[in-house]
């Protein structure tokens, strides 16, 4: 008996088991950012396990090349999609800042004279701290 | 039933939790479930193509991988800006 079917069975079993565990992880986790972590293993590890199984099974380079291309597309683009989704999740959850604020600003009176400066990082009570200009 | 069809069946079972996540939860959760479902579906198509010995079916999986990536980016940008 050849060892190839056993190797293929083991590789496919690992790929399916990993994917099943990760989909259950996506289902169980509460936060979108936690769920996003479970996207990576099927797109990278499972895809290349299937590529290895195809390489063991197939003798034509055409199908092996196509499966390799699919695995590379999955693993490379999954990171970009996960990054975009996490940005959307942060904005959706209200954690991200809508725009970039400077760390320090100057306070100017009606004559245009600088009378103070403010530290935009929140102080002890969550209010911007204002210091007199020297 | 070949090993590849059994693996395809396993990937079909793995689609069920993704469907549950897509059917309930908030918009971002649904997007994550959609992305996961697309990855699982691509792997399922590869297994079906290998079991049927049809090289043309790989193109379907490749097209789905590329289109799901674009779709995920569009959905993410939509959620980020307008929802």
Q: What is the pLDDT of residue A1?
A: 63
A76 touches chain B (CB under 8 A): no
- B76 within 8 A of A90, measured Cβ to Cβ: no
Give how many domains chain B has, as a whole number.
1
**From B9, which residue of chain A is nearest by alpha-carbon distance?**
A16
Instruction: Parse chain A into domains and list their residue ranges.
Output: 4-93, 101-134
C-beta atoms of A23 and B4 within 8 A: no
Contact at 8 Å (CB) between A75 and A47? yes
Per residue of chain A (134 residues), give pLDDT as tens.
688 889 999 999 999 999 999 999 999 998 889 999 999 999 999 999 999 999 998 777 888 899 999 999 999 999 999 999 999 888 877 765 545 556 677 788 888 888 887 776 655 555 555 555 55
Domain that holds residue B67: 3-82
Residue A94 CA to residue B5 CA, distance in Å, equals: 44
Burial group, residue A26, by CB count within 10 angstroms (0-12, 13-18, 19+): buried
B5 has a pLDDT exceeding 70: yes
Q: For residues A107 and A114, is the Cβ–Cβ distance under 8 A?
A: yes
pLDDT of A114: 83
Q: Which of A19, A70, A80 is opposite residue B11, by nearest beta carbon?
A: A19
DSSP A132: E
Q: Would you tell me which residues 19-38 of chain B have a C-beta closer than 8 angstroms to some C-beta of chain A?
A: 20-21, 26-29, 31-33, 35-36
Task: Kindly report, residue by residue over B32-42, the tens digit of the pLDDT.
Answer: 999 999 999 99
Query: Which chain A residues are closer than 8 Å to B6 by Cβ?
Result: 12
Inspect the interface and report whether the beta carbons of B32 and A39 lie closer than 8 Å.
Answer: yes
Quote the pTM value: 0.79
List CB contacts (< 8 A) between B77 and chain A: 84, 88
ipTM of the complex: 0.91
Taking alpha carbons only, the member of B61, B47, B54 closest to residue B13 is B47
Q: At residue B50, does pLDDT exceed 60?
A: yes
Beta bridge partners of B45: none
Cβ contact, residue pair A77, B10, below 8 Å: no
Q: In terms of CA atoms, which chain A residue is nearest residue B29?
A: A32
Two structure tokens written together for A76:
């490379």
DSSP conformational letter for A98: S
Give the separation between CA B24 and CA B26, rounded to whole angstroms.
7
Residue B51 near residue A59, CB atoms below 8 Å: no
The mean-pLDDT minimum among A120-124, B46-50, B74-78 falls in A120-124
* B28·A80 Cβ contact <8 A: no
For B64, the token pair is 């789905």
């Amino acid at each position: 008996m050849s060892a190839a079917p056993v190797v293929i069975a083991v590789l496919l079993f690992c790929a399916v088991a990993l994917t099943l565990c990760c989909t259950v992880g996506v289902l169980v986790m509460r936060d979108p950012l936690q769920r996003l972590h479970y996207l990576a293993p099927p797109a990278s590890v499972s895809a290349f396990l299937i590529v290895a199984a195809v390489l063991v099974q197939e003798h034509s380079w055409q199908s092996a090349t196509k499966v390799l291309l699919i695995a590379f597309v999955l693993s490379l683009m999954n990171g970009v999609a996960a990054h975009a989704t996490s940005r959307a999740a942060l904005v959706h959850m209200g954690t991200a800042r809508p725009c970039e604020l400077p760390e320090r600003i100057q306070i100017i009176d009606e004559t245009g004279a600088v009378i103070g400066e403010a530290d935009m990082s929140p102080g002890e009570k969550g209010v911007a701290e204002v210091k007199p200009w020297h | 039933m070949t090993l590849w069809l059994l693996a395809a069946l396993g990937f079909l079972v793995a689609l069920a939790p993704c469907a549950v996540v897509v059917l309930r939860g908030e918009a971002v959760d649904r997007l994550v479930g959609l992305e996961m479902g697309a990855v699982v579906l691509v792997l399922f198509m590869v297994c079906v193509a290998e079991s049927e010995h049809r090289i043309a079916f790989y193109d379907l999986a490749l097209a789905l991988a590329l289109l799901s990536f674009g779709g995920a980016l569009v959905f993410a940008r939509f959620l980020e800006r307008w929802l």
